[in-house]
Amino acid sequence: MHPAGTTSANGYMIFDSDSAAASGGEDASIITGAIDCSGKANVHLTFNEYFAQFNVSQGIVWVSNDGSTWTDIHHAEAGLGTDQTTANPFALDIDITAYAAGQATVYIQFEWIGEFEYFWMVDDVALYEIAATDGGVTNITAPVSSCALLSSTEPVTIEIKNFSNAALSAFDVTFVADNGTPNTETITDTIAANGTMTYTFTATADLSAPGAHNILAYTTVTGDGDNANDQFSVDLYGGPHVVDQSTPYTQGFEPTESQNGWTALDVDADVVTWDLSNVLPHTGSVCANYAHELPSNQANDYYFSTCLGLDAANVYQLDFFYRTFSPAYQANMEVILCTDQDPATVVSTLVPTMLVSNFNWAISSSSIYLANGTSGNYYIGWHVTQQDSSTSLKIDDVNITYSGPNSIQPINSSAISLYPNPSNGLVSLRGLKESTKITVVDLVGHVVLEQNAVAGTSMLDLRSFPKGFYSVVLKSEKSVITKQLVISGN
Ligand SMILES: [Ca+2]
Ligand SMILES: [Ca+2]
Ligand SMILES: [Ca+2]
Ligand SMILES: [Ca+2]
């Protein structure tokens, strides 16, 4: 299950039908012991689940107050078609008052029915009683992190929930910016039973200093029966993460670090994309992960870093660790430097497309030069495309450090040409300004040619290779440039 939002790191419950394979039919239940709800007027069941439907499996939650008569209160498979999954995690809150209130022996049953299907994961099961009066802040929707600096008058917008079965009105809400002076205002509107409202404070937050910020917001409701849900806090970052001699940028994807600004881009729009995983991290308990094992696998997904402030006067080094889940889950990986979280804004290739087949962690190291010589805000994008029927790519422990001054004049990508293009494979490479390593890579990431060149014009002989599209990667002391080449035959 997704480590953000569940306690999956300390274990969870799973029926793994895929692993059980063809077994002649599966129908398995796990049933709680008797839970004493006597004296409880309102009882809710909460849990997290992640259910994947292959064809016709069922995940049913039942409730009983005698252990023999059961009522189904939830079907995990509801609404899922072939090869579809619930959200991960999917958080449920089910009112079981009708079956459990005042009952001394309440049982909950989780039943799986299927054969050689996918799986159902369940975690964080709890019964709780609703308080007669209960409010809380459930989200802070503004301000949000920004690559540009935040202002000294940022509006603060929160979402407030009434957790009780009675209307809620006339209570205070407070926000605190960066542990400063609390700003308290009174809500005069009424929130209906179990309802929510959005509120923007009249007071604003001064978040104009570059760097990390925090907003804490909470309700103060007279007679609130559950203070554990009163408050919400959010970590923000104003401006880019500036990397310099004293400040590296590191990201290990741990719960103790901020992944603020990291964004997955699902180009093939199949809803399967980069995520965090607690399976086989390099260090700590979490790594970044792309995994797809459904038959309709069409990986084309980017994971973009948060905004980095880089200076053209410097050279930086990008180190990170990468692997696949297992030998059966190979992937193609490419790492690019962009001016936005959009591959169309690519300015240089940091790691040319390569086949990742290692299922032990390996380190990738490359230099970052700002190819167009412009200081500013940049994003690093990890691009995964499918190589196999199943695709997996994991990354962890990203480390971007200052490695020295950029003393060489930047080269201009457009000053380098491949001629003719398309060609029969005999190509002249013109405009190289220094010693350059030339690597030619085919569409699936295989290196087909490597040679070294000096300044001036070099010839590439690719006449023995199949017709098609190739990437020509030119790596010198100061830059990495990728050119596209078409071999069309005579
Ligand atoms: Ca757990
Ligand atoms: Ca509360
Ligand atoms: Ca980690
Ligand atoms: Ca995708």
Region of residue 269 (left: phi > 0; alpha: psi -120 to 50; beta: else) = left
User: How confident is the model over 29-46, as a mean pLDDT?
Assistant: 95
Residue-range definition of the domain harbouring residue 231: 135-239
Collapsed DSSP state (helix, strand, coil) of residue 438 = strand
Give the tokens for residue 344. Answer: 């169309």
Question: In angstroms, what is the span from residue 168 Cα to ligand 3's centroid?
Answer: 43
CA 300 / ligand 1 centre spacing (Å): 32
Instruction: Please give the average per-residue pLDDT across 313-321, as a whole number.
Output: 93
Cα of 196 vs centre of ligand 4, distance in Å, is 33
Nearest ligand (C-alpha, residue 391)? 4
Rounded-to-integer distance, Cα 328 and Cα 324, Å:
9
Q: Is the model's pLDDT at 169 over the cut of 70?
A: yes
Contact, 316 vs 326, CB < 8 A? Answer: no
Ligand 2 centroid–CA 131 distance in Å is 9
> For residues 174 and 294, which has the higher predicted lDDT (pLDDT)?
174
pLDDT for 146 equals: 92
Q: Does residue 252 register a pLDDT over 80?
A: yes
Is there a single domain that holds both residue 140 and residue 117? no
Distance from Cα 226 to the centre of ligand 1, integer Å: 23
Q: Is residue 155 part of a domain?
A: yes
Average pLDDT, the chain: 91
Residue 410: predicted pLDDT: 46
What is the pLDDT confidence band of residue 1, given thresholds at 50, 70 and 90? Answer: confident
Question: With contact defined as beta carbons under 8 Å apart, do 237 and 306 qualify?
Answer: yes
Ligand nearest, relative to CA of residue 254: 3
Per-residue pLDDT at 103: 97
pTM for the model stands at: 0.66
- Whether residues 356 and 449 share a domain: the answer is no
* CA 329 to ligand 3 center in whole angstroms: 20
In terms of domains, do 428 and 294 share one? no
Dump pLDDT digits (tens) for 91-108. 999 999 999 999 999 999
Sign of CA dihedral 249, 253, 255, 259: positive
The verdict on residue 244 lying in a domain is no
73 CA to middle of ligand 2, Å?
Answer: 26
How far, in Å, from the CA of 376 to the mean position of ligand 3?
28
**Statement to judge: residues 125 and 190 lie in one domain:** no
What whole-number distance in Å separates Cα of residue 302 and Cα of residue 410?
27
Please report which confidence band the pLDDT of residue 326 belongs to, taking 50, 70 and 90 as the band edges. Answer: confident
- Give the residue-averaged pLDDT of 12-29: 87
Q: What is the Å distance from ligand 2's center to 230 Cα?
A: 4
The number of domains in the chain is: 4
Ligand nearest to the CA of 290: 4
Ligand 3 centroid vs 281 CA: distance in angstroms? 5
Tens of pLDDT, residue by residue over 424-457, are: 989 998 888 777 889 898 877 788 899 888 777 8
* 254 and 142 both lie in a single domain: no
Does residue 62 sit within a domain? Answer: yes
- Same domain? For 110 and 221 the reply is no
232 assigned to some structural domain: yes
Q: Where are the beta strands (DSSP E) in 254-294?
A: 263-266, 275-277, 287-292
**Residue 297: its pLDDT value, please?**
62
9: left (phi over 0), alpha (psi -120 to 50) or beta: alpha
| Helical (H) or strand (E) element with 19 | helix 17-20
Of 205, 239, 273, the domain-final residue: 239
